[in-house]
Amino acid sequence: MNSGGRLLVGHAAPSARRPQDARTHQGTTPHTGRIGWLRATVLGANDGILSTSSLVLGVAAAHATHSDLLVAGVAGLVAGAMSMAAGEYVSVHSQADTEEAELKLERAELKADDKGEHKELMAIYVDRGLDASLARQVAETTDGP
């Protein structure tokens, strides 16, 4: 924490974050934040198409009736959707739990060694390309909620 009792932000997990593209212009938003959901959508759709079509082909190979094929296809779609939703729910909550644990650890480290944490934050900014004097200034003035 800094002298105002506020949590410093920006150095909990530097490997998990990517610096903003230097080519980003003022007033514009980088589009890289959209890649995660797009990737998940494409992979999820691909998984759903392949698993449902495989199920229907397997049922068709057993010489099932048209209504049996329809029931198998709808059941496969519903089961796949429920599975994807449950997986996403668990994933989001696991990530939130991990982030909360990391914040708790950082708060404890800040209480125990405020100056050391400022040095660590400064080193992270230097590693990202800031000169040492600017990194020191940023580390001393950066605080969180």
Indicate whether 130 and 76 sit together in one domain: no
Q: Can you give 77-127 as a three-state secondary structure string?
A: HHHHHHHHHHHHHHHHHHHHHHHHHHHHHHHHHHHHCHHHHHHHHHHHHHH
pLDDT at 97: 94
**Is residue 41 domain-shared with residue 97, that is, in the same domain?**
yes
- Do 126 and 77 reside in the same domain of the chain? no
Domain count of the fold of the chain: 2
Residue 92 in any domain: the answer is yes
Residues 97, 137 within the same domain: no
Is there a domain that residue 38 lies in? Answer: yes
Q: Which amino acid is at 29?
A: T
Q: What is the pLDDT of residue 29?
A: 61
22, part of any domain: no
Please check whether residue 13 lies inside any domain of the structure: no
| Parent domain of 53 | 30-104
> Taking a C-beta distance cutoff of 8 angstroms, is the pair 92, 84 a contact?
no
* pLDDT per position as a tens digit, 43-85: 888 888 999 999 999 999 999 999 999 999 999 999 999 998 8
DSSP letter for 15, please: G
Residue whose C-alpha is closest to residue 66's, from 79, 56, 51: 56
